[in-house]
Amino acid sequence: MSSDISPSSPPARRRKASLHQRRRRGAWLLIAPALLLLALAAGWPLARTIWFSFTNALLDNPSDYEMVGLANYFAHRDDITIGVLSDPLWWQAVGNTLWFSVVSVSLELVFGLLLALLMNEKFRGRALVRTAILVPWAIPTIVSAKMWGWMFHDQYGVINDMLGRLGLPSHLAWIAEPSLSMWAVVIADVWKTTPFMALMLLAALQLIPGDLYEAARVDGASAWQRFKRITLPLIMPALVVALIFRVMDAMRVFDLIYVLTSNSEATMSVSGYAREQIVTYQDMGMGSAAAVLVFMMVAGIAAVFIRVSRLNEKEKSS
């Protein structure tokens, strides 16, 4: 009779569980300092913002306030509705933000993937291209917005000049015209942040073993089949991470729109709406309520992305 203990026996399972618990405790101890710093840097301002969203505090004297409950969010008083959720400008800002996020992130994904596939190939000057692609991402957003503002100028901007040379309408008011101003913001944002998407996907592409492509070529797979069956599935985790970062960043957009279009109603984002309530109208309660709603939107979208990615991983592993 063998005296060996089977891996599936109760003592072995208990030892395995104990080891797993020790590793988990060790992991929590290692990240505890970072979590503490994060709580101080982000948790306290968030808690303070949530608190002020239930008050009627003003920016010039935030210590003098009264609790108003949910009135800054939504309330019905004397046959009128008040609060952020009853303001048509808020819903216009939500629509602008969602439209900007969907269009800009979609274009950045397409162009970033194409650039990543290009930079992953071997050609002369590849190192120079990889370095040059970082230039738009390295330029500060304020500088980028001012630069594009000059380029989009309706009288002497380079964009209208190029359109005129091509025989197209060349006196477009890109910044002033509501139907064009959001497109101007999208173009500037895509130019600046596509390199981020490209570098994230390039890092994932370089982790794919070349033997997989060689085997696929031997089997007669076309370029599209290799991309669909090998490249896309293997870069999907990095792609999801890049999308989460970009969508969260796009939902919080403020500086690019504020500098490029002066935060006009046609392009106002939810962050711009919160800033207008706090700074322009000095209404700290309403502005804080808008900021809390922005946080909830961004956190909700991130949670959905993470949940969907985990469900996909479970389906692949099962």
Q: Which CATH class is domain 87-317?
A: mainly alpha
More confident residue, 151 or 154: 151
Average pLDDT over residues 91-96: 94
So where are the chain's domains? 87-317
278-298 pLDDT per residue, tens: 999 999 999 999 999 999 998
**C-alpha distances out from residue 264 to 35, 149, 150, 284, Å:** 38, 14, 17, 21
28-73 pLDDT per residue, tens: 899 999 888 888 888 888 899 999 999 999 988 888 889 999 999 9
Name, in order, each residue with C-beta under 8 angstroms of 83's C-beta and a sequence gap of 6 or more: 70, 71, 72, 73, 74, 75, 286, 289
Q: Which helix (H) or strand (E) holds 18?
A: helix 10-38
User: Cα–Cα–Cα angle for 79, 81, 84, nearest 5°?
Assistant: 175
**C-alpha distances out from residue 304 to 89, 244, 253, 299, 310, Å:** 26, 10, 20, 9, 10
Average pLDDT over residues 212-227: 88
Query: Residue 15: what pLDDT?
Result: 64
9-20 pLDDT per residue, tens: 566 566 666 777
Give the integer Cα–Cα distance in Å for 100 and 235.
25
